[in-house]
Amino acid sequence: MSEAPAAPPTESAEGTGTSLLLTPPRPRSGWRLLPARVVAMCAVELQKLRHDRTELYTRAIQPALWLLIFGQTFTRIRAIPTGGIPYIDYLAPGIIAQSAMFIAIFYGIQIIWERDAGVLNKLLVTPTPRSALITGKAFAAGVKSLIQAVVVIVIAAILGVSLTWNPLKLLGVGLAVVLASAFFSCLSMSIAGIVLSRDRLMGIGQAITMPLFFGSNALYPVAIMPGWLQVVSRINPLSYQVDALRGLLLGTPAHLGLDFGVLAVAAALGITAASALLGRLAR
Amino acid sequence: MTTDTTAVACTGLSYRFGDTKAVDGLDLTVAEGEVFGLLGPNGAGKTTAIRCITTLLPVPAGMVRVFGHDTGRERMAVRRLLGYVPQQLSADSGLTGRENVELFARVFDVPRRERAARVAEALAAVGLADAADRLAGTYSGGMVRRLELAQALVSAPRLLILDEPTIGLDPIARTGVWDQIDSVRAATGMTVLVTTHYMDEADQHCDRVGLMHRGRIRALGTPDELRRGLAERQGTEALPTLEDVFRDVAGSGLDDRSGGFRDVRSTRRTANRVG
């Protein structure tokens, strides 16, 4: 307290002084800034979920229906070649990936809402580089998707899907979910930076989520797709996520190295693009 | 002109949106420790000027300095000196008051061991200690404004920037917000830059004001100086109000550009949320 206040604190009636509020905190520098911002954004996401769990419950309904109705029916029909495992088992990793993607795609709408509410502007006036803000949001989407993934895994286990309980493999599942969610949230935030309005983004969000889902190996193997759809599936990061999840959870043959490589590169590209476009939302 | 004790210095600041020149050659100096009011009708360019000063809008180097730091070149350094309360009610309604302030403690690098104490002090300074663990969504408009003040104060800024802090509030809540600003300033000695279109508030609470119209400062001085100046020019005995001064410098044609559709809509939205 070397610097004395110009006048004594007037709020002493509250029981606390304002001594700490006279000294600015020491800036964190260099590499320590980014993880600190990521932690801050993830903490906000978890705090919000703690106050209002409605979203957690309502978002569990859709994947449950997919597994329960679609999964069980197609298990009986045996129309889709799954390499010898029950169809519902084959489907479960696809539904984990799908429900995580749906959460992440919502982040573009959320960032426009935050822009309209002034929350985004206020964060942009803090010592937080735009790339750190976007990385923070991307990992917050990952944390939320991770919770969703746990819910879907539990539902799948209840429905009798035989999943791995190997902690190392589950760790890999978590990593795949976080990386893919980071990509899809950044895709959505990039589009938000281009279209700038919530109405337009909602339309585009609806228009891309289903093609991303159907144009992947989440529901059926790539081999039975028509040629043009195989191309779509090959450039769709969701396919690589599903491939990794299937390999880790069910032990089916997978290309884990390629899968994680593609997901990491996609997340990095997404963060770069969304950070570059964030400035348009600040105007 | 620009010394270390100059809080804000704008020289020939201009900013255009498409064909509209929102700020058109603004020259402005805010001295350290003063409460400076930027006044003008909707659409005068106040908010755009604020957004240039807060680094939200990109400006070329040399146009704006905050405590000597160039906003075009040293954005991070400028941001560390600022506490900013935007026009909209910007607290997160899904978090408690304490969590709202905590977020800003984190993004301003308050170390963990003093975070809780600092957050508690900021909340106590605006009289929200008792409501700290309620969701901000349950706060009244005046309480949200005070919470935003706490968010801005937690990093001990040297310059507090408030964009229309009393917009849409009822007279009692308006007085409450100004009392809070006055007491914070008395306790910390920080510089305050505030925009408003309520001339009576500026008259009462600002050390100096700048009357802005069509992107430029049209009159500058203490409220008293401006009113006396007009009285002398008009040769009247009775002291005019700041509003009279404003009408005098802006001349006719006040209505044709007073706020685009988006301005008015966002103002109304804020007013609605404040209730």
Residue A21's pLDDT band (boundaries 50, 70, 90)?
Answer: confident
B264 vs A240, more confident = A240
Look at B89 and A118 and tell me if their CB atoms are within 8 Å. yes
Render pLDDT for B97-108 as a digit per residue (tens, 0 to 9): 999 999 999 999
Most B CBs within 10 Å, among A54, A113, A122, to test the B interface:
A122
Look at B188 and A22 and tell me if their CB atoms are within 8 Å. yes
Residue A11's pLDDT band (boundaries 50, 70, 90)?
Answer: very low
Q: What is the pLDDT of residue A1?
A: 38
Nearest by CB to residue A48, choosing from B51, B94, B127, is B94
A228 vs B234, more confident = A228
Nearest by CB to residue A24, choosing from B80, B104, B187, is B80
Look at B108 and A17 and tell me if their CB atoms are within 8 Å. no
Q: What is the pLDDT of residue A10?
A: 41
Look at A24 and B188 and tell me if their CB atoms are within 8 Å. no
Residue A78's pLDDT band (boundaries 50, 70, 90)?
Answer: confident
* Chain B residue with the nearest C-alpha to that of A14: B124
Residue A220, C-beta contacts closer than 8 angstroms, at least 6 positions apart: A80
Q: How far apart are CA A85 and CA B220, in angstroms?
A: 79
Q: What is the CATH number of domain B6-274?
A: 3.40.50.300
- The position carrying tokens 């539990």 is A154
Q: What is the pLDDT of residue A5?
A: 43
Q: What is the pLDDT of residue B209?
A: 95
* Chain B residue with the nearest C-alpha to that of A136: B107
Contact list, B15 vs chain A (CB under 8 Å): none
Nearest by CB to residue B95, choosing from A7, A8, A48, is A48
Residue B5's pLDDT band (boundaries 50, 70, 90)?
Answer: confident
**Do β-strands B191-196 and B35-39 pair in parallel, antiparallel, or remain unpaired?**
parallel
Closest CA to B211 of B253, B248, B162: B248
Contact list, A13 vs chain B (CB under 8 Å): none
Look at B154 and A283 and tell me if their CB atoms are within 8 Å. no
Render pLDDT for B216-264 as a digit per residue (tens, 0 to 9): 998 999 999 999 999 888 888 888 888 888 888 877 544 554 555 556 6
Q: What is the pLDDT of residue B252?
A: 52
Residue A43's pLDDT band (boundaries 50, 70, 90)?
Answer: very high
Nearest by CB to residue B125, choosing from A18, A33, A47, is A18
Render pLDDT for B34-67 as a digit per residue (tens, 0 to 9): 999 999 887 889 999 999 999 999 999 999 999 9
User: Token pair of B74, please?
Assistant: 């040293």
Q: How far is A265 from chain B (nearest CA, A)?
A: 27
Cα angle A210, A215, A216; round to 5: 110
pLDDT > 80? residue A128? yes
In A196-255, alpha helices (H): 198-214, 227-235, 237-250
Nearest by CB to residue A10, choosing from B85, B118, B186, is B186
Residue A18's pLDDT band (boundaries 50, 70, 90)?
Answer: low
Render pLDDT for B81-140 as a digit per residue (tens, 0 to 9): 999 999 988 999 999 999 999 999 999 999 999 999 999 999 999 999 999 999 999 999
Q: How many CB pairs under 8 A join A and B?
A: 151
In this prediction, residues A169-195 reach a mean pLDDT of 97
pLDDT > 90? residue A214? yes
Look at B56 and A121 and tell me if their CB atoms are within 8 Å. yes
Most B CBs within 10 Å, among A21, A135, A137, A278, to test the B interface:
A21
Residue A181's pLDDT band (boundaries 50, 70, 90)?
Answer: very high
Q: What is the pLDDT of residue A15?
A: 42
Each domain of chain B, given as residue ranges in start order, spans 6-274
Residue A4's pLDDT band (boundaries 50, 70, 90)?
Answer: very low
Render pLDDT for B66-81 as a digit per residue (tens, 0 to 9): 999 999 999 999 999 9
Nearest by CB to residue B111, choosing from A25, A33, A51, is A25
Look at A9 and B58 and tell me if their CB atoms are within 8 Å. no
Q: How far apart are CA A217 and CA A238, in angstroms?
A: 8
DSSP letter assigned to residue A21:
G
Look at A127 and B76 and tell me if their CB atoms are within 8 Å. yes
pLDDT > 90? residue B150? yes
Contact list, A28 vs chain B (CB under 8 Å): 109
Q: What is the pLDDT of residue B238?
A: 83
Each domain of chain A, given as residue ranges in start order, spans 34-282
Mean of the per-residue pLDDT values of chain B: 88
Contact list, A8 vs chain B (CB under 8 Å): 187
**At CB < 8 A and 24+ separation, what contacts does B265-273 make?**
B266/B87, B266/B88, B267/B42, B267/B87, B267/B164, B267/B167, B267/B168, B269/B88, B270/B87, B270/B88, B270/B89, B270/B164, B270/B167, B270/B168, B271/B167, B271/B168, B272/B168, B273/B88, B273/B89, B273/B141, B273/B168
User: Token pair of B180, please?
Assistant: 């809070």
Contact list, B80 vs chain A (CB under 8 Å): 24, 27, 127
Q: What is the pLDDT of residue B263?
A: 60
Look at A22 and B125 and tell me if their CB atoms are within 8 Å. no
Share of chain A above pLDDT 70, in %: 94
Q: What is the pLDDT of residue A12?
A: 39
Render pLDDT for A135-176 as a digit per residue (tens, 0 to 9): 999 999 999 999 999 999 999 999 999 899 999 999 999 999
CA distances from B151 to A109, A134, B30, B157, B194 (A): 24, 21, 23, 11, 17
In this prediction, residues B17-25 reach a mean pLDDT of 89
Q: What is the pLDDT of residue B267?
A: 64
Q: What is the pLDDT of residue B246?
A: 86
